[in-house]
Structure 1
Amino acid sequence: MKLAIKHQETRIDNNSRYIFGRKEFSTSLKNIFYNIDGGFVLAIDATWGEGKTSFIHQLIHDLKFSTNLIPIYYDAFANDFASDTFLSIGATITYGVENHFNKQDQKDKNHKKNQKQLQHLKKVTKNTAIELVKLGTNLAVKSLTAGIVDSSELVKVTTSAFNTATFGTLELDLNKKFEAYEGSKATIKSYVEALQSVSTGSEKVVFFVDELDRCRPDFAVEVLEKIKHLFSAKNVIFVISYNKSQLSKIISNVYGVDREDSLKYLEKFVHIEVNLPTVDNKHHENSYELLFNSFMDEFNIQFSMEQPKLERLKSMFISLSSNKHLKMNSREVERTFSYVSFCFASLDKDMGTELFQYFLPAAMIKVKNIELFESIKNGSFSSTSINKEFNWIYVFFKDYYKDNLVIEASNVYKVGKFEEACNIVSMFKLPIESDIRSAVKNF
């Protein structure tokens, strides 16, 4: 039994079984990567909990078997401790390309050439990082692009905060005199050329930027600026995964502008935006079955339930998760199984097995709608006491628990085991997503 599971990166299916129709979506993205010439920035928009990270890692896994595409993953939230955004991104790209080349056969005719170009890229990345540190990370980008900062302001940049910074064997002497601004632009141009030179032909780097709406606000904006203005290489495709609504709020806070202006600002950095396919009626049954099996396995929930009962339980889960009922997303399903795992672990195995068919729907309802959970946690279901939006609850559970309910009135029945399960589920409280985000933001 596990009370928590590993990061979504491990949730890879070698058979490429995507949920919610995302197999077709992944195929479309791969075709775009292959068919469009030059570098560009593509954004994948979805709300929290829809499975952006899981989708990206599955896509990266598949791209590793593709010809001429080099997928690289960058977790913005995990990297926002870095004081130099360019160095953080540049190093990730360099190491990703290096890993790709190292997998090549040394007898490959391009092997020596690739290694030479890779060493050149490392050198130029270091030199570019030095130039940007001299200018000031933010000021360099803004001066290069929008002209927001007057060049005379560059002399105000202080280097007292750092003595040295390292990148491999690199040491940055921040006591050096500021280099000329035009010299820095030339260095950046050299970096882009070096990044382009690592391509042996039609090879492209597909650089995935994830968790941008979770990281430090100023870091999120810096990442966007660097991608747009310092990584304009024709062989590099950037795929940004974000919650557009949330990221626009971050931009509003950083620049003090309204939502409309923040959305316009964000559009300047993205060439094309796509929406991640979410819950649909066409694919929901297979998708929720996949999630059920996956989380049962990942949380290592094992019990001796007769196969017909287990299949019926799975069918109940699939129906309850669907659009016509609770419309659960993948994050909510994961949280449900976290609750179930805690509840199961709190009891002896026989009792856990007996109550599992009650734990599961109780946890699902608590995750999705705490007010609805509170209204039925006593195990009584009335056709009149439930909000009209959830009238289906009365009929749904009357059918599912028909062998275990007690009729108390013409429109009221009680399921004692459901009440017992709800009492145990109520003992535990997982931090809700908004709490987590707020904590991260205020940290």
Structure 2
Amino acid sequence: MDIQKYSSDFSDESLRRGYINNILERNSYIHNFILMLLNIEKGGVIAIDGEWGSGKTYFVHQVKWLLDTASENIDGDIKTVLNSTSPKLDNIIGHKYKLFYYDAWKHDKSNNPFFTLLRSMILTFGGIDYFKKEIGFIKSLLKGASHIVKGVTPIDVESIFKGTKTLCGINDEDQFSELEFIEQMDVQVNSFLDYICEGQYEKLVIFIDELDRCKPSFAVELLEIIKHYFNHDKVIFVLSTNLKEFQHCIKQYYGEGFDGWKYLDRFIDIRLTLPIITVEEYCKYLWNNLSNDRIDDLAICCAKHFNLTLREIERYNYLIKISIQKAIEKRHKSNAFKDEYQYLYAFWIPVILAIKFHSSEEYHEFISGNNNSLIKLLMQVDKFKNSAIAFLLNDNDKSNGNHVIIQEKVEYYYELIFRGYYSKGVTSELRESIKLDDFRIDSGVKQNLINIVNLFSTWSVYDV
């Protein structure tokens, strides 16, 4: 069981499937962004802004994947999408752009952003052996990296580069002064970038992701290093970050009275805000492996009500798969369950999971029987109400078209299960309906529901 299975899949296969099927309805945004990159004459810094969990990382991975793919031979399905999505990008095949992705958060355990970025690029573009004929500036780069690392971070340069200092003839006493380092790094990093691009690529696009999740010192220093040392006509930086949160990192670094928003203007040339995607379509994509459309609809309504982010929706979907998969007939998509209690549980579990995911306080209020306001709101949504009818009305009610009773019946079962009694008078219609139900509601039903939601039930399937 992979407990991180809810995380986004950035494999080539997943990115290709997402693009071919336009799963997130972002293909036009991907095309527009690539068109912007292709029309930038010199280097610069672009920021893709978006809330946490809004799909920024997936977006930049898709952009990188498409450009990487288009630089080689591409299949007919991709060509079709390139030609049918506005704006069309059929002209990008065989382009001369080189892409590099750097996860800042992954590297912020170091105190030296310059060193980690430089090392990542050297390893990505062939490693030290690839640059043997340019040993001069590689020697200078490593010498400079040794200088800024020593005394600042516990990173062991020797073990990280696995003997490359020896290869370059560098010893511990052979260090630049600080002034020499500043001058040399400016020259040598530019030489390094020239070497990557010259004769091969028109532009080098460097994606810097998760900057807003880094510790303030690493995030701010990385931003300044990008501007001071990697400012190159052929290099475009793309920062995917939550700028609202990132300005707080800047304030923590420079002081609360510092204007972090204005500070960002010194470094960012263009700010883009990633458009919000259609939550329902994304939910449908994630829930397409479940075997009951009604459960899908319940979960989608809950996700929309609580305005879950894409990342939260992935986790919520995963929890539903774990908790109720055994309650679903796997043979084919239908609403046929093994017994009446499975209908009851199938209705309540997505709701309770969503409340628990959203708020611990609201969850405890709900299972104590003290707050059914969410149910009243959701019952006003046709998709949710229709699922309640499918799960909670017996065959007699359905055949007679007695759907008006569903609101009262949902409230009745909520109070009976979570409070232990129904606080209102039972109408004659409700009395006749519940007579035909095969539900024996006692404290065991509530406990079973809680166990299922807490993933400690025999219903739980952990190999999903």
TM-score, length-scaled by structure 1: 0.70
Q: Which residue of 1 aligns with 2:194?
A: 196
Aligned to 1:276: 274
Structure-2 separation of matches of 1:62 and 1:249: 33
Would you say the 8 A contact 1:3–1:341 is kept in 2? no
Identify the range of structure 1 (70-79 vs 358-367) with the bigger mean alpha-carbon deviation. Answer: 358-367
What is the aligned-residue RMSD (CA, Å)? 3.8
Could you tell me which residue of structure 2 aligns to residue 14 of structure 1? 16
- Corresponding letter in the other structure for 1:41: V
Match of 1:287 among 282, 287, 293: 282
Mapping for residues 47-86 of structure 1, pairs under 5 Å? 47-66=51-70, 67-86=95-114
Alignment-derived partner of residue 73 in structure 2 = none
TM-fit CA distance, 1:183: 6.4
Letter in 2 for 1:328: L
1:175 aligns with 2:173: yes
Which residue of the partner structure matches residue 360 of structure 1? 350
The alignment partner of 2:38 has SS state of: helix
Supply the distance in 2 between the matched residues of 1:201 and 1:5 (Cα, whole angstroms). Answer: 38
Aligned to 1:330: 310
CA offset digits 1:354-375 (Å, max 9, x no partner): 6445433332232234454444
The residue type paired with residue 10 of structure 1 is F
How far did 1:413 drift? Answer: 3.0
Q: Which has the higher contact order (CA 8 A, sep 6+)?
A: 1
Looking at structure 2, the residues matched to 29 and 122 of structure 1 have their Cα atoms a distance apart, in angstroms, of 37
2:44 equivalent among 40, 47, 72: 40
Q: Closer, same or farther in 2 for the Cα pair 1:217/1:121, shift >3 Å?
A: farther
1:321 pairs with 2:334: no
What amino acid is the match of 1:94? I
**Distance (whole Å) between structure 2 residues aligned to residue 27 and residue 380 of structure 1:** 50
In the TM superposition, residue 231 of structure 1 has moved relative to its aligned partner by 0.5
**Distance in 1 (alpha carbons) for counterparts of 2:285 and 2:156:** 52
Q: Is 2:29 the partner of 1:25?
A: yes
Cα separation, 2, equivalents of 1:356 and 1:123: 67
1:395 is aligned to 380
The answer to whether 1:215 aligns with 2:199 is no
* Paired residue type of 1:170: T
Q: Which residue of 2 aligns with 1:131?
A: 144
Cα deviation, 1:145-173, whole Å, max 9, x if unaligned, reads: xxxxxxxxxxxx95897885453533253
Alpha carbons of structure 1 residues 215 and 421: separation in structure 2 relative to 1, 3 Å: farther
Task: Name the SS of the counterpart of 1:73 in structure 2.
Answer: strand
**C-alpha displacement of 1:73:** 1.4
Q: Give me the whole-angstrom Cα distance separating, in 1, the residues matched to 2:298 and 2:8.
A: 25
**Counterpart amino acid of residue 450 in structure 2:** N
Measured against aligned partners, the alpha-carbon deviations of 1:367-390 in whole angstroms (never above 9, x if no partner) come to: 2344544444367985xxx27xx8
1:265 pairs with one of 256, 260, 263: 263
CA deviations on 1:302-359 (whole Å, 9 max, x unpaired) are: 7xx4xxxx2333334334433xx33222111122123224424899997997644543
CA change 1:353–1:76 in 2 (3 A) is farther
Q: In the superposition, relative to structure 1, how do residues 266 and 160 fare at CA in structure 2: closer, same or farther (>3 Å)?
A: closer
Report SS of the residue matched to 1:241: strand
Question: Helix, strand or coil: the match of 2:222?
Answer: helix
Is residue 2:118 matched to residue 1:90? yes
Q: Is the 8 A contact 1:90 1:125 kept in 2?
A: no
- Structure 2: tracts of 5 or more residues without a match: 71-94, 330-337, 394-404, 418-438, 440-444, 457-464
What's the CA shift for 1:37? 1.2
Counterpart Cα distance in 2 of 1:189 and 1:89: 17
Structure 2 letter corresponding to 1:251: I
Instruction: Quickly say closer, same or farther: Cα 1:250–1:125, change in 2 above 3 A.
Output: farther
Aligned-partner Cα distance in 1 for 2:455–2:369 = 18
1:343 to 1:164, Cα distance in 2 relative to 1, 3 A: closer
Asked if 2 retains the 8 angstrom alpha-carbon contact of 1:46 and 1:52, the reply is: yes
Quote how far apart the aligned CAs of 1:29 are.
1.3
2:185–2:229 contact (8 Å) kept in structure 1: no
C-alpha displacement at 1:225, in angstroms? 1.3
Residue pair 1:120, 1:194 contacting (<8 A) in 2 also: no
Cα separation, partners in 2 of 1:237 and 1:407, compared to 1, 3 Å:
closer
CA distance in 1, matches of 2:217, 2:195: 31
Between the aligned partners of 2:110 and 2:275, the Cα distance in structure 1 is 33
CA contact (8 A) 2:143 2:175 kept: no
Matched, 1:427 2:454: yes
Secondary structure (helix, strand or coil) at the match of 1:195 reads helix
Question: Residues 164 and 173 of structure 1 are in contact (CA less than 8 Å); yes or no, is this contact kept in structure 2?
Answer: no
Q: Find the aligned partners of 2:4 and 2:51 in 1 and give their Cα distance.
A: 23
- The offset of 1:270, in angstroms, is 1.2
Q: Is the 8 A contact 2:54 2:310 kept in 1?
A: yes
8 Å CA contact 1:408–1:414 kept in 2: the answer is: no
Instruction: Kindly state the Cα deviation for residue 178 of structure 1 after the two structures are TM-superposed.
Output: 4.1
- In 1: Cα distance, 2:3 partner to 2:180 partner: 56
The TM-score with structure 2 as length reference comes to 0.67
Match in the other structure for 1:154: none
2:436 is matched with which residue? none
- Partners of 2:411 and 2:239 lie apart in 1 by 51
Distance in 1, Cα, partners of 2:125 & 2:175: 33
- Correspondence for 1:5: 5
CA distance in 2, matches of 1:96, 1:23: 27
CA contact (8 A) 2:15 2:61 kept: no
Taking structure 1 as reference, are residues 97 and 378 closer, same or farther at Cα in structure 2, changes over 3 Å only?
same
Cα shift at 1:175: 3.1
The 3 A distance-change label for structure 1 pair 71 and 427 is: same
**Retained in 2: the 8 A contact 1:86–1:129?**
no
Q: In structure 2, what is the equivalent of residue 103 of structure 1?
A: none
Q: Secondary structure at the residue paired with 1:175?
A: coil
Q: Please state whether the residue corresponding to 1:232 is helix, strand or coil.
A: coil
Paired residues of 1:291 and 1:330 also in contact (CA < 8 A): no
CA distance in 2, matches of 1:125, 1:378: 66
The CA distance in 2 between the partners of 1:43 and 1:35, in whole Å, is: 16
Specify the structure having the higher radius of gyration (Cα).
Answer: 2
Unaligned runs of 5+ in 1: 100-114, 138-156, 297-301, 430-443
